[in-house]
Amino acid sequence: MNLLDPRTARARDLRRMKLIALALLLSSVALLVLAHVMGRQGMWGWVGAYAEASMVGALADWFAVVALFRRPLGLPIPHTAIIPENKTRIATALADFVGNHFLAPKQIVARIEAWNPALALGAFFSRPAQVRNLSRQLQSWVHASLGALDAPALERALVSIARDQLSKWNAATTAAQLIRVLTEGNHHQRVLNTGLVQIGRWVDQTEVRGYISEKLSGMARREFPKMTWLVDKVHSTDEIADALSEKVANAIIDELQAVLNDPQHPLRARYGQEAAKLLARLEDDAELQGKVADFKQQLLESESVNDYVRHVWQRMRDWLKEDLASPNSVAMGYFESYATRIGVNLRDNVQWQNLANAQILIAAEHLAGALRKVAPDYIKETIESWDTRFLVNEIEQSVGVDLQFIRFNGTLIGGLVGLALYGLLQLPLFN
């Protein structure tokens, strides 16, 4: 038996308090017997009155306390063994109480608003030492988790789960939602700008211009061999191809720059129209939706795609395992750097705090609402599944010590009431 176990300590304290209450009851009985032996005259009349009333009070409160947990003396007295007989009702009441008072979204949101969690997070993550300690713990946990993922059976199970979830995923709907978000905020034009800039940089590379020149020269020699033979007599076909490549590349870059500089360029309008058409088709065209779904399924069932994904995952996992095994982990270095930077912004920037708190409040409200739906049933089912004797013992050990004071008070106050009544009866009015 572990003497430091809280349950053991509570049980020991409860036994001691029960013995004290029993000792008070027995002392009242002893005083009553002694008072009767002495004839209850003079002082012994007062002693007898006190002992008689205190004994009644002690017995009454003993009955009340015991009746909460079991039947007194095992007798089938109505309205006793209240807790075991009403376990289901108690479980329901406790579940409703927790759901209504501890998981009410308004109360949780109000507490979080008063707390300012973003500032608390900022204060924590802005301290490099704390971020470093968290990083070390996270590094150890992730490294151990990656080791567990080495098991082929687990890897196959994860792949199977991912494939099942992706099979249920409506890719057309997701694509439509993405396009709608981009077009409603005019973000699709920014995507176009980014794409045009990348194309311009690619075309402007010397290697690309050389590639275009090579293709032009090769096509000319292949399609027009006689003409290129004559041209070579006067001027190099390759030099002409180089010059033409420069002109083509410069023309492409100039056109790209024109589109980038003109918000009303016809290409932008056509791009917007095509995006709107694609959005409408993704939302309403069953044939296109079917094609997207078929393409997604082909990718999921493709052995080459699966092999490639498996290869990428294995390389990424192996790199992470090797990196996380090092005390100078690159991944953890990035984590510490970004976490500290975010922490400083949360600590010092009110706008960051407001934005983070708003997101935390939204998440907390949704989480509280979800918990409020499932927590009461979980609490009720858990309590109902407990063994009745176990439940009674747990409750009695938790509050039983305090309940013994009711027995103490009943004994003492009962005796005082007995003295008061005895004294009242000694007045001339009653003699």
Q: Provide the pLDDT for residue 1.
A: 42
- What confidence category does residue 3 fall into, taking pLDDT thresholds of 50, 70 and 90? very low
pLDDT of residue 147: 75
Q: What is the pLDDT of residue 6?
A: 61
**What is the rounded average pLDDT of the residues 293-305?**
85
Is residue 85 within 8 Å of 71, Cβ to Cβ?
no
Residue 227 has pLDDT above 70, yes or no: no
Res 125: pLDDT: 94
> What pTM was estimated for this model as a whole?
0.51
- Mean pLDDT, the chain, whole residue set: 85
- When pLDDT is cut at 50, 70 and 90, the band that residue 4 belongs to is very low
For residue 244, pLDDT over 50 is answered with yes
pLDDT more than 70, % of the chain: 91
pLDDT reported for residue 24? 94
User: Range with the lowest mean pLDDT among 83-87, 286-290, 309-313?
Assistant: 309-313
Mean pLDDT of 208-233: 68
pLDDT band at residue 226, thresholds of 50, 70 and 90? low
pLDDT at residue 372 greater than cutoff 50: yes
Confidence of residue 145 (pLDDT cuts 50, 70, 90): confident
Q: What is the pLDDT of residue 275?
A: 86
The token pair at 32 is 């009553």
148-152, 168-172, 369-373: lowest mean pLDDT where?
148-152
Confidence of residue 421 (pLDDT cuts 50, 70, 90): very high
Angle at 22 between CA 19 and CA 23, to 5 degrees: 85
More confident residue, 2 or 147: 147
pLDDT(238) > 70: no
State yes or no: pLDDT of 59 exceeds 90. Answer: yes
Among 63-67, 181-185, 228-232, 243-247, which is the least confidently predicted range?
A: 228-232
Q: Whole-angstrom Cα distance, residue 121 to residue 115?
A: 11
Name the band, by pLDDT with cuts 50, 70 and 90, for residue 48: very high
